[in-house]
Structure 1
Amino acid sequence: MEYLSPHGVAGMPAWLGFVITLAVPVLLALGLGRLLHALFTPAEFAANAAVGAVKYGFIVEIYAVVAALTLVGSWDIYQTARDTLQKEASGLYMLALSVDSFVGPEFADQRAEMRGALRAYASSVVSGDWPAMQAGAPAAASDITFQRLTRAFLDVDGRTTGQQALGQKLGDWLGSVAEARIARLSVVSRSLAGLIWLLVLTVSVAVIAFQWFFGGGNAAMHYTMGAVISVIVGLVLLVSLKLAFPFVGDPALLTPRAFFALMDVS
């Protein structure tokens, strides 16, 4: 059942997700077309054309509103996740740059601990937080290493005026990392609710199916238009899914590349 869920489809390889979100709507449209043309005569389709076109226009308007809201909501989730990662990585980068400001043999142990804490935190995000985020589950693997990171930088007492001034900025950068970290971990819970995806799927199927309840002058042209409409519906679903689950998929829209770089701090 996981593979049938929105999270499961978003987590599929790119080519497989593309095939499913395009092939299924097209096959559904063509299959419904064949079925309805077998059940009803051209005369019955022609008689229903005027009323059917009006009703189909109403359904299309509903679909347009639902699709637009879904895309906007999915884009907001993606943008929040992207900005959060950038903010967290930026704060960690500034912390990494500040280590060499504490020069001298008296700070050798502190420098080693600061670098070690940075590497440990980045490693726990990659190996612990990220798999949980990809699975759509709460992540807390980096709690202990973040506490170590906080202590490593806040416990350093500068000797010079510059080091003391830098010590005040360390607290600000740590606060920025903490805020971004909490936001990153909460992005998973901000995914669109299952009822919304059910609504999107229902309206999408209605748009694909309802187009066959009135006839066209040429059957081949009618099938072609049905396939094109289905492709559009499938692409809307695919884009919405990828944006709503930015940490999953192969490739995913968002990756822990910045944390891999921090694991090499030396």
Structure 2
Amino acid sequence: MSAWLVGHIPAGVLLVALIVLIAGGAVLLQRVVRRRYPHLAGEDHNDVTRFTYGVIGFVYAFFIGFVVSAMWGHINTADGNIRAEGAAAVQLARDSVVFDEADGQRVRDRLLAYGQASLAEWPIVGGHSTADADAALADVYRAYEQIRPVNDTQKTFLATSFGNLDKVSQARTVRVLQARGDDGIPWPLWAVIFLTSAMVLGTAIIYGVEKPSMHYPMVAIVGVLVATNLFLVLQLAHPFVGDVATSADPLREFVAVLARPGG
């Protein structure tokens, strides 16, 4: 569900929708509470609510910070992996000029086919493996196996190229496995997020403020804060989906290098 929301709804629209839903709903609920329970404005009640809000707010801030930090680390890991894949692939393209013209051209053609297949599979459920990309990568290996080096320079570059090709293959495997296992935040964490968010909003709603003109803005502000935190959690929940997800730019650069004359 979270992946669908992030993948199909623009970030700006999703943020506004969450703010309207949560902050607006909190203000409406506050209006009902003020009418039905006017005695909540008592000072004794406020003393208890103030203490409770301080404890809940601290736990809420700590927990949301922990979740956001962990998910941002997952995105950084995925981003570093795709950069390593792209960098190794670009190095393969540049080193291919050392080989004989026919061998170098065959290698570049196979690398270009692999790069295009990798880009084609990227939008498919977060970069899951496709048969075309698997076959293209196998063709790259065969192209290097067909090279017969004629001097020490070509031997050295061939050995280096096989090492870089292994890095590309390993990075792609990590990317595919991470994408396949991307189920977002597990439901126990969602349960805690929703529970603590509701408690933060609830204590703000029942806090006794004599003047409604002061109470409504307070609840609205807390509602906006909760909505933006939920929006941030949703955006960071999936490393390959959404506006802050890992980008395929390193693969695009790899394809661009091969597409340039003399690449």
Whether the TM-score (by the shorter chain) exceeds 0.5 is: yes
Are residues 1:247 and 2:240 paired? yes
After TM superposition, the structure 1 = structure 2 runs for residues 101-120 of structure 1, keeping only pairs within 5 Å, are 101-103=98-100, 107-108=101-102, 110-120=103-113
Amino acid at match of 2:4: G
**CA drift at 1:102:** 0.8
TM-score normalized by structure 2?
Answer: 0.87
Aligned length: 253
Counterpart among 128, 136, 139 of residue 129 in structure 2: 139
Q: CA deviation at 1:71?
A: 0.4
- 3-state SS of paired residue (1:166): helix
**Given that residues 81 and 175 in structure 2 are in contact (C-alpha distance below 8 angstroms), is that contact kept between their aligned partners in structure 1?**
yes
CA displacement, residues 178-204 of structure 1 (integer Å, 9 cap, x when unaligned) = 221122123332543233223212221
Give the Cα–Cα distance (whole angstroms) in 2 for the partners of residues 86 and 195 of structure 1.
Answer: 32
Q: Which runs of 5+ in 2 are unaligned?
A: none
Match of 1:256 in 2: 248
Which of 184, 192, 204 pairs up with 1:211?
A: 204
Q: Distance in 1 between matches of 2:188 and 2:52?
A: 24
For residues 1-266 of structure 1, what are the structure 2 equivalents within 5 Å?
5-11=1-7, 12-41=9-38, 43-46=39-42, 47-103=44-100, 107-108=101-102, 110-133=103-126, 138-141=128-131, 142-188=133-179, 189-190=181-182, 191-249=184-242, 251=243, 253-264=245-256, 265-266=258-259
RMSD: 2.0
Please state how far the C-alpha of 1:154 moved relative to its aligned partner: 4.0
Give the letter for the 2:219 counterpart.
G
Offset, 1:62: 2.2
Change over 3 Å in CA distance of 1:50–1:71 after alignment to 2: same
User: Which region of structure 1 is more displaced relative to structure 2, 117-126 or 184-193?
Assistant: 184-193
Residues in 1 aligned to 2:112 and 2:147: alpha-carbon distance in whole angstroms: 18
Q: What are structure 1's unaligned runs of at least 5 residues?
A: none
**Does the 8 Å contact 1:91/1:174 carry over to 2?**
yes
Contact 2:122/2:248 (CA < 8 Å) preserved in 1? no
Letter in 2 for 1:8: W
TM-score, with length taken from structure 1: 0.86
- Distance in structure 1 (CA, Å) of the matches to 2:199 and 2:85: 43
